[in-house]
């Protein structure tokens, strides 16, 4: 029997509401090394917010190689919902 290491979560109404609140209160981090256009960076930031909000709303952590952006989003979530459990961000294990 194979162990499941990844679970696909639906973006439900709560996650969409949280993502909208996060998007209204945060900006993509400035990264001088990022060669993407401003529009591409904004699209990526929106997707990161949607992923984080979906995980948080479902009570799951985020596993990512993009720790910086997700840590920033987790911090914004903690400010929006100070009494709720935090979003844990897990980076690549070395």
Q: What is the pLDDT of residues 31-49, one digit of tens each?
A: 778 888 888 989 999 999 9
Place of tokens 């709303």: 57
Q: CA of 29: how far to CAs of 13, 33, 66, in Å?
A: 26, 11, 12
Give dist(CA 23, CA 94) in Å, integer. Answer: 32
* Distance from C-alpha of 32 to C-alpha of 54, rounded to nearest angstrom: 28
Return the pLDDT at 94: 65
Report the pLDDT value the prediction gives residue 1, as an integer from 0 to 100. Answer: 64
Inter-residue contact 53 to 29 (CB < 8 Å): no
Please report, rounded to a whole number, the percentage of residues in the chain having pLDDT higher than 90: 64
Q: Give pLDDT, residue 33.
A: 81
Within 10 Å of residue 94's Cβ, how many Cβ atoms? 3
- Give every residue of the chain whose pLDDT is below 50, as ranges: none
- Per-residue pLDDT at 92: 75
């Amino acid at each position: 029997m194979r162990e499941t290491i990844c679970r696909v979560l639906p973006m439900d109404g709560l996650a969409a509401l949280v993502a909208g609140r996060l998007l209204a209160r945060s900006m993509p981090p400035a990264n001088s090394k990022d060669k993407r256009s401003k529009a591409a960076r904004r699209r990526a930031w929106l997707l990161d917010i949607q992923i984080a909000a979906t995980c948080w709303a479902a009570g799951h952590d985020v596993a990512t190689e993009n720790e910086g952006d997700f840590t920033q989003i987790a911090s914004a979530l903690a400010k929006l919902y100070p009494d709720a459990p935090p979003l844990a961000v897990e980076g690549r294990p070395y």
